[in-house]
Amino acid sequence: MTGRLKGNGEPIIARNLVRRFGDKVAVDDLSFHVKAGEIYGLLGPNGAGKTTTVKMIAGLLPPTEGTVEVFGFDPITNPIEVKQRIGLVPEDHILYKSLTPREFFDFVASVRRLKPAMVRQRLHSFVDAFELQEYFDKPIAALSHGTKQKISVISALLHEPKLLILDEPLSGLDARSARVLKDILNFHLENDGGILFSSHILEVAESLCNRIGIIDEGRMVAEGTVKELRKMVKSVGGSLEEVFLRAVQQDAEVAATVAALRRALKETQQ
Amino acid sequence: MTDTTSRQESLGLREIWRLSGMISFEVQFQSALEMSQGAFGQSIEKQIKKARSNSRVNKGMVSVFTLVLAATFGFLVWAALSGVIGVSPDLQWTTVALTVSIFTLMNFGFLVFWGVMQVTSFISSGAASIGMYLPISRSDASKLALFGFIRLFDAQIITIIVAFPIAYFVATFSLLGFLSCLGITVVTMALAVTMMLLLAIYFHSKIQSSGGSRFSTLIRLVFTLFFVMAIMGFSLSIQLISFILPIIEAFAIALTPYWSWLAIIFPFSFGLVVTQATGVPGTPFIWYAAVSFIVFLLLAVLGIRWSGGLLSRIGAGAVVETGPTIIQPVTVTVSRVGVAVMRKDLRIAFRTPGQAIMFFLPVLMMLPFIFQFFEGTGAIYVMDILILITTPATMLSFFAIFFLSVEARGMAFTLTLPLKTETILRSKAQLITCMAIAIPVVVFIVSLLRPLTSWVSLALSVSMIPLVYVAAFLSLVLFTRIIGGGRLVGFEISQHIGQMIVVGMLAATLALIPLGLYGLTWIFMASLGFTIDMAHLGALISVWLGILFNYLLGKILASRMLLD
């Protein structure tokens, strides 16, 4: 099995997703879909509900209300089917830190029942591309943030998934590795793969994503292409950062905070 | 920009001592953090609090243990000299020398094995180099590291240095004996500290930094075994106290012809020096021993100077050199899913000494019984073997759930993979079963020392392997159902301790059922007039029926009711 399983339907269809933790509503009536051959950017300030949404799509957390379909499968009732088809790069490195990358990939390839020849070829290519050879036998705990991120990215790509769910995938990567990853993502799109891309780096989202959904306090506050979003907030020509702040209604508050900080710094200067 | 810092004068010794407490605590905290990975999701505040109390408890325990040991060995010296144990006068010197030597060796070994882990953390954590980043002099930074190191072992070293010489003085009322005892203890501690640092540097370069050659894998295993040996040594010493006297007597007689060369070997030369200083008549080869002691004294002085220099350099920010990186070809081994999960768990567990010790539990639990077998003569009855194997089998079943926490935070990654909960639980149960293999191995070794009355003893011990597997799997299924509704979830041990104990006890009871069936069937068949062999065979069959019942129960619960 190569991991290229045929599933029905679009990579992601989320309908009226709600997730509550006690009294707190982390995700509130969220609906969106990701099509094959596109990168969908999920943007939002800290605590907006991005990671909770990603967990519900990956089958790691059941929604309180609403439904998710990944290639037509419900991640909660068919978690194995969904997990076979997705490659997940979570925001925090959830890796076995006492293992070496070699031992870690041993485990991932075995659990995903990948063919040894295919693993050898793909792993070799990824390790070369991300310059990981010299770290291949060191404990993951001893590696830098960027190197851990490379391991996380490779483990998500190893089984050639149809859908990539990437939460801050460029975090900690050097310019070379970031470029390599962007090329891999383009190759993935050319092969009709889908990508859900969650990031705080607005410039990256602006340059990579076909469509963007901006969420705040668990709700979708704006959705569309960058062009459509600019029109939506009536600041045509502005950067995505301005669009984003306007959409989450933080532009005035951020401007006031920055001004107050500058005043405080000036006063403490001697 | 303005300079917001101000130049400081040299810190006083008192202030350095206070600050060094933070360094030693940081090292202990990092060691504790490494060992408590099972505390999945525990808040960092709780872990700090726990590490702080553990540090105090550990120091207290080690001190109490050292005191008990010193008092025991002091008593042995008194017993040998006063004649209460009937040591003949011409064997008094060898008994005293051997007692002092064994105590010296135990302290040396215990300090080295116990300390090497913390010292490796001390070197690799960077905590000792904190002074380098502070606005303090290079000399103060070095002292900070030195004191931080001393404080890791202060309670243990002080107790050893004080307790045994005093116990020895009380036993002998010899001032010279007391002083010589103090001398050899100080020299032993200096040698132990030097050895500890040498090993820690070696391990640091091989484990933390070098490539993954087979050699470094082997070294990692040895490192883990050091920790296990320290724990086993601690447990064995306590169990052995009541056996020490006959052992020493036997050794004293056996070693008498070899003292001419033992006199120059550590720690026997130390034992002879103390015995001579105490004035025990007939002590031979004293000049050999004295020369040997002086050589070790010089080595200790050199060792302490080297250790002090090394710690000063670490404090001043010098990096301990690591081995070269060996780049191996990029290949991976793809195995069956269950095997992959087990291999991963094994690798993780053996890199966490606190978890690695679990793998030695069966042997540790059987040790006291084994020593009893050494004492007796004649064939060992099936019932004795039944008692020997019941403890590890039930305890392994009880502790099975704790292996759910082997992965610690890595569990979050497992959950992203296309793995059925049942597959993971079965793999964990198989891993626990691997530990049960030690049970028939120990019984086989025992059978080499003393004959068994029936082959059923060996068959019964082999039956413990499937017995542990089914009980472990059942408890894992039940616990997963209770805390995750049938789905594997990350959990914090401290928040589920009640459920763990209940499920653990249930598993232990399930493991006991087949063993209980053995006894009942045997009594029943014997009362019906069957031969002893037939009664044992029937009882063995009922054990397997009990295991089969537990197996079917686990299968039904896993597939129909409990797991997703």
Opening angle at CA A169, ends A164 and A175, nearest 5: 130
Q: pLDDT digit string (tens) for B496-506? A: 778 888 888 88
Residue B224 has pLDDT above 70, yes or no: no
Instruction: Please give the Cα distance from B408 to B350 (Å, whole number).
Output: 14
- Decide the pairing of beta strands A65-69 and A86-89: unpaired
- The answer to whether A102 contacts chain B (CB < 8 Å) is yes
pLDDT digits (tens, 9 = 90+) for B238-269: 555 556 666 666 677 777 777 778 888 888 89
Question: pLDDT band for position B223 (50/70/90)?
Answer: low
Phi, psi of B420 (to 5 degrees): -75, 145
Q: Are A58 and B344 a contacting pair at CB < 8 A?
A: no
Three-state secondary-structure class, residue A33: strand
Which of the residue ranges A87-101, B176-190, B480-494 has the most confident prediction, judged by mean pLDDT? B176-190
Considering CB atoms only, which of A88, A106, A111 is closest to B332?
A106
Q: What is the pLDDT of residue B5?
A: 42
Which of B333, B337, B412 lies nearest to residue A113, judging by beta carbons? B337
Give the list of residues 6+ apart from residue A7 with CB closer than 8 angstroms, or none. A70, A71, A72, A73, A81, A85, A162
Tens digit of each residue's pLDDT (9 = 90 or more) over B352-397: 656 676 777 787 778 777 777 766 677 888 888 888 888 888 888 8
Angle CA A169–B42–A165, to nearest 5: 20
Tell me which of A163-167, B370-374, B431-435 is least confident: B370-374
Which positions 122-181 of A are in contact with B (Cβ < 8 Å)?
Answer: 123-124, 127, 133-134, 136-139, 142
Among A189-203, B115-129, B166-180, which stretch is predicted with the lowest mean pLDDT? B115-129
Which two tokens mark A161?
């998934």
The string of pLDDT tens digits covering residues B331-356 is 888 889 999 999 888 888 777 656 67
pLDDT at A234: 61
Task: Quickly count: other Cβ atoms within 10 Å of residue B437's Cβ.
Answer: 14
Nearest to B328 among A81, A120, A137 (CB): A137
Residue B410 has its nearest CB partner, among A81, A95, A139, at A95
Distance from the Cα of B413 to chain A's closest Cα (Å) equals 5
Closest-CA residue of A relative to B325 is A134
CA distance A234 to A56: 33
Say if residues B488 and B416 touch (Cβ distance below 8 Å): no
Are A106 and B348 a contacting pair at CB < 8 A? no
Q: Is A248 on the interface with B (CB under 8 A)?
A: no
pLDDT bracket for residue B38 (50, 70, 90): very low
Pairing outcome for strands A24-34 and A39-43? unpaired
CA dihedral B194, B198, B203, B206 (to 10 degrees): 170
Place of tokens 């037939």: B534
* Tokens linked to A261: 């900080």
A208 CA to chain B: closest CA distance, Å?
Answer: 25
How many Cβ contacts (< 8 angstroms) between chains A and B? 113
Inspect the interface and report whether the beta carbons of A138 and B331 lie closer than 8 Å. Answer: no
Element (DSSP H or E) covering residue A221: strand A219-224
Residues of B in contact with A88 (CB under 8 A): 416
CA–CA dist A16, A29 (Å, integer): 4
Record: contact A80-B419, CB cut-off 8 A:
yes
Measured between alpha carbons, how far is residue A12 from residues A34, A160, A166, A193, A263 in Å? 5, 17, 14, 11, 47
Ramachandran assignment for B303, one of left (phi > 0), alpha (psi -120 to 50 degrees), beta (any other) = alpha
Chain B residues whose beta carbon lies within 8 Å of the beta carbon of residue A134:
325, 327
Question: Of A67, A69, A71, which Cα lies nearest the Cα of A8?
Answer: A71
Mean pLDDT of B527-543: 81
Give A-chain residues touching B484 at CB under 8 angstroms.
none
Tokens representing residue B366 in the block = 């059987």
Q: Which two tokens stand for residue B533?
A: 């062999």
In a mutational test of the B interface, the residue from A98, A113, A160 whose CB has the highest number of chain B CBs within 10 Å is: A98
Question: What pLDDT is recorded for position B318?
Answer: 62
How confident is the prediction for chain B on average, in pLDDT?
Answer: 79
Across B132-155, average pLDDT: 81
* Beta-carbon count within 10 A of B524 CB: 14
User: What percentage of chain B carries pLDDT values higher than 70?
Assistant: 78
Question: Is the pLDDT higher at B136 or at A132?
Answer: A132
What is the distance in angstroms between the Cα of B210 and the nearest Cα belonging to chain A?
A: 7
pLDDT at B306: 92
Token pair, residue B173, equals 């009322």
> In angstroms, how far is CA B48 from the centroid of its own chain?
23
Contact: A96, B333; criterion CB under 8 Å: no
Cα gap B411→B404, rounded to integer Å: 9
Per-residue tokens: A92: 């925090």
Asked if B203 and B223 count as a contact pair (C-beta separation under 8 A), the reply is yes
**A137 to B410: CB separation less than 8 angstroms, yes or no:** no
Average pLDDT over residues B547-555: 85
The DSSP element (H or E) to which A17 belongs, if any, is: strand A12-21
Q: For an interface test with A, which of B215, B332, B337, B411 has the most A Cβ atoms less than 10 Å from its Cβ?
A: B332
Whether residue A109 and residue B420 make contact (CB cut-off 8 A), yes or no, is no
A1 in contact with chain B, both atoms CB, cutoff 8 A: no
Higher pLDDT, B373 or A32: A32
**A7, pLDDT greater than 60:** no
When comparing pLDDT for A27 and A237, which is higher?
A: A27
A118 touches chain B (CB under 8 A): no
Work out the pLDDT band at B40, boundaries 50, 70, 90.
very low
Q: A138, B212: Cβ pair inside 8 Å? A: yes
Lowest mean pLDDT among A196-210, B12-26, B351-365: B351-365
By CA distance, what is A93's nearest residue in B?
Answer: B413
Cβ–Cβ gap B344/A98 under 8 Å: no
Closest Cβ–Cβ partner in B212, B344, B417 for A83? B417
- Tell me which residues of chain B have a C-beta less than 8 Å from any C-beta of chain A: 2, 208-209, 211-213, 325-328, 330-337, 339-341, 343-344, 347-348, 351-352, 407, 409-410, 412-413, 415-420, 564
| Span A1-26, average pLDDT | 77
Mutate to test the interface with B, among A131, A136, A138 (most CBs of B within 10 A): A136
Please tell me the distance from the alpha carbon of residue B100 to that of residue B172, in angstroms, as a whole number: 13
Confirm if B228 and B234 have CB atoms less than 8 A apart: no
d(CA B273, CA B93): 11
What is the ipTM for the molecules in this complex?
A: 0.81
Least CB–CB distance from A95: residue in B333, B413, B418: B413
Q: What is the CA radius of gyration of chain B?
A: 28
Q: Residue B326: its chain A contacts at CB < 8 A?
A: 137
What is the spatial distance between Cα A201 and Cα B425, in angstroms, rounded to a whole number? 40
Contact B416 A142 (CB under 8 A): no
How many Å lie between the alpha carbon of A111 and the closest alpha carbon of chain B?
Answer: 5
Contacts of A109 in chain B (CB under 8 A): 332, 334
Q: Which residue has the higher pLDDT, A232 or B15?
A: B15
Q: What is the pLDDT of residues A49-62, one digit of tens each?
A: 898 999 999 988 88
- Structure token digits, residue B323: 């081995």
Cβ distance B144 to B315 under 8 Å?
Answer: yes
Nearest to B351 among A90, A98, A136 (CB): A98
Model confidence band, residue B6 (pLDDT cutoffs 50, 70, 90):
very low
CA-to-CA distance for B68 and B552, rounded, in angstroms? 50
Average of per-residue pLDDT across B518-536: 82
Chain B residue closest in CA terms to A114:
B334
What digits encode the pLDDT tens for the residues B62-106? Answer: 788 888 888 888 888 888 888 766 667 777 888 888 889 988 988
- Are B418 and A112 within 8 A, CB to CB? yes
The whole-angstrom separation of Cα B30 and Cα A265 is 37
Instruction: State which residue of chain A sits closest to B410, comparing Cα positions.
Output: A96
Q: Which residues of chain A make contact with B2, given a CB cutoff of 8 A? A: 269-270
**Is A120 near chain B, with CB under 8 Å?**
yes
CA triplet B195, B201, B206: central angle to 5 degrees? 125
Residue A74 confidence (pLDDT): 93
What is the Cβ-side half-sphere exposure of residue B226, based on CA atoms within 13 angstroms?
23
Best to test chain A binding among B209, B214, B325, B330 (most A CBs inside 10 Å): B330
Distance from B117 to chain A by nearest Cα, in Å? 16
Q: Among A143, A7, A195, which residue's Cα sits nearest to residue B208?
A: A143
Which residue of chain B has the CA closest to A132? B330
d(CA B464, CA B452): 18
Tell me which residue in A60, A123, A139 faces B415 most closely, judged by beta carbons.
A60
Question: Which residues touch B451 (CB under 8 Å, ≥6 apart)?
Answer: B379, B380
Contact assignment for A133 to B417 by CB distance below 8 Å: no
| Helical spans, DSSP H, in B376-496 | 382-399, 411-414, 421-436, 438-449, 456-484
Q: Which amino acid is at B563?
A: L
B332 contacts A102? CB cut-off 8 A: yes
Average pLDDT over residues B162-182: 92
